[in-house]
Structure 1
Amino acid sequence: MTKIEVHGSVPLDLEGDLASLPGDSARMAPHWAAPARTAPLPVSPSLIHGVSVPSASARLLDAMSDYGD
């Protein structure tokens, strides 16, 4: 059995519905810290090699229309 601990005077709704989600999220948001965003480092084209595409996939892609068709 799970023991549920409530810290504060917020009513606990175990049978919550979609209407209660915004309030639940607003109460939980201060407890979570978002990690700092890091931009991915660019990869040199000379490091990209060894990509193989099965012939069936290549034929499928070749048969697809280009953008804007």
Structure 2
Amino acid sequence: MLRGAPHARGRGLASRVVRAAAERIAARGERAFLHVAAANTGAIRCYERLGFVIRKSLRFHGYRVP
């Protein structure tokens, strides 16, 4: 599933943003974590390359108010 701006894919932008955010979080003495949909395999690959690991699978439900 392709999302976002296809012309921006593969340029390392997500990696730079996630790395910068994780570094700021670590500088505060906290641990960074992410939630990602299992179907978003591109994001999962990116996050794993950055050192994140899957710790737990969760089921999310979305609801719409009519």
State the TM-score, normalizing by the size of structure 1.
Answer: 0.23
Larger RCO (alpha carbons 8 Å, 6+ apart): 2
State the TM-score, normalizing by the size of structure 2.
Answer: 0.23
Higher Cα radius of gyration: 1
